[in-house]
Amino acid sequence: MCVVYHSQSGSCARLARAAAAAAAEVEGVEVTVLRACDASTSAVVDTSGLLLVAAENSGSMSGESKAFLDRLFYPAIGRALVIPYALLVSAGNDGRGAVRQAQRILSGVPFTAACEPVIARGDVTDEHLTQARELGQGFAAGLEMGIF
């Protein structure tokens, strides 16, 4: 499983670390964590699933997260890469624009959504970190069991 994130304020980094740590607790699942600027198609090709942690900026997905998906899009289509994904968005107050944008791109690859997106609104709280851990662990467990 590959966790890809972009974080300027540190919020997405905290959420990504929480999700990845919980996912790593699932026996049989190898977790890789990459910043979006360092992630490439080859990192995703060799994984069982993608957990994208992105920020919403001005009603859409943060630029670096979108740049990662742009770099991934055509090479993934060319390789007929179909993997499950989960989405975690850190948003100041809404998050739905970033979710729609990410879903539109990921479904075009086509990756399949493993679960409903999680949106952490406002400053990252302990509750948000708990949601990130639950998402990471649940996604990893589903991958290990072959559910997705």
Give the pLDDT confidence of 98-113 residue by residue, as tens digits: 999 999 999 999 999 9
pLDDT at 26: 97
Give the pLDDT confidence of 132-141 residue by residue, as tens digits: 999 999 999 9
Please answer whether residues 1 and 48 qualify as being in contact, where contact means their C-beta atoms are separated by less than 8 angstroms.
yes
pLDDT at 58: 86
pLDDT at 46: 85
What band does 94 get if pLDDT is binned at 50, 70 and 90?
very high
What band does 92 get if pLDDT is binned at 50, 70 and 90?
confident
85 pLDDT above the threshold of 90: yes
Give the pLDDT confidence of 27-71 residue by residue, as tens digits: 999 999 999 999 988 888 889 999 999 999 888 998 899 999 999
DSSP 76-133: HHHTT---EEEEEEEESS--HHHHHHHHHHHHHTT-EE-S--EEEESS--HHHHHHHH
Q: Does residue 86 lie in a domain region?
A: yes
Pick from 14, 25, 13, 49: nearest CA to 127: 14
CATH number at residue 62: 3.40.50.360
Tokens of 14: 């905290």
Give the pLDDT confidence of 109-133 residue by residue, as tens digits: 999 999 999 999 999 999 999 999 9
140 — alpha (psi -120 to 50), left (phi > 0) or beta? alpha
Pick from 95, 39, 33: nearest CA to 68: 39
Q: Does residue 81 lie in a domain region?
A: yes
Report residue 3 CA to chain centroid gap: 6
Q: Does residue 127 lie in a domain region?
A: yes
What total number of domains does the chain contain? 1
pLDDT at 66: 94
> Residues near 75 by Cβ (< 8 Å), separated by ≥ 6?
41
Q: Does residue 146 lie in a domain region?
A: no
pLDDT at 13: 97
Q: Does residue 148 lie in a domain region?
A: no
Tokens of 49: 């699933």
| Domain membership of residue 31 as a residue range | 2-141
61 — alpha (psi -120 to 50), left (phi > 0) or beta? beta
